[in-house]
Structure 1
Amino acid sequence: MNSIVVFCGSSEGNDPAILQAAAELGKILAEREIILVYGGAKIGVMGTVAQTTLDKDGKVIGVIPEFLKHKEVFHTGLTELIVTQNMHERKLKMHELSEGIITLPGGYGTLEELFEMITWAQLGLHQKPIGILNTNGFYDDLLQLLQKMVSKGFLSQENYDMILVDDDVDGLLKKMVAYIPLPLPKWIKKEQT
């Protein structure tokens, strides 16, 4: 993989291990010469992963909508900053620029980004690996809810299994490199992807 989009919070939260994991991810991305694509802010978990990647001489592309540019205090030292007109254009651009997706802890926006990418994968619109870095079990309850969706017949086990989960950066990246995507759904033709 040459580029990974990272979805995560614009807040720091209150668990120091989450910021440590974000810094570890940034360090490893830089070392492996994997371009970081992210939301463009210099604050929160987002800022930590971006700054660490830059500090280790990695490349970082920020993608931020115009209306959030000042609210989220955009990072001025990025390799490249792309300003979009809205959130939808932002997600589409992040998706276009990346070969894989990693989600770190965050709030509503982080979950929304994650679930849009999962939905697109489920529909056969992409076959990129989707990873969750589950630091200190942050996503345990969400994963339990998704398992409940499987048991209640709202989600197939194979679509649940598309989500790669690990509490270790290196372990997650190994799973992403080894990921074999599901075959395209029968109702999606190859030329539509």
Structure 2
Amino acid sequence: MSAQTTTRDTATEPAVSLRNEPVQARSTARLTALLDAAASIVDEVGIERLTTAMVAERAGASIGTVYRYFPDRIVLLQALGSRNFERVMARIVDAIDDPANENWRDALRTAFASVIDAYRTEPGFRGLRVGDQLDLRPLPNGRTHKSLVAERIVEALAARFGVENSQATRFTLEAGLEMSDALVARAFLTNPQGDDDFISVSTTHVGSFIAENIGW
């Protein structure tokens, strides 16, 4: 596939507007505790049933403390989704940079495996992921959560293996991510460890789709 390489701003995580940004270690720890509490509740009851009162109780904080940072439950979930985004991206980049991967295909397989591992081990990720299901409106510059992930993956592959960082490449990765997300989310719908059959379909067919549509 030939496509003109374009220059774009570095992909950044979706912005979340907190009422008060933590400026001291104590405030940062309090915010972390609230997000940890929210993550555990999402794992237990899902995003639809989560309330700010539940988060306050789980974190051992007052409801006023929750509202000090989050004006409502949606912003709280968006903040958790933003944290998930950064954590899963760190996993992906580490996987791509793993010296054991000798080519981009191995690196991409390892990266996708790291996302599946996040479903199993990252609190709140199975039910919320990066928060894309909370609000489907495009992010600034017309990007979506999946396009941000695709951009970072391509940037990491370009830095490690010199692959082409083009609009066509990013689109193929984003399309693959959309397909994989649907299949993997289904795999973990009722099974915290994931349904192997759905995971296998995602790994095999999405990998083939990407390989067939990228001419590296």
TM-score by length of 2: 0.27
Which has more radius of gyration? 2
More strand by share: 1
More helix by share: 2
Quick one: higher RCO (CA 8 Å, sep 6+), 1 or 2? 2
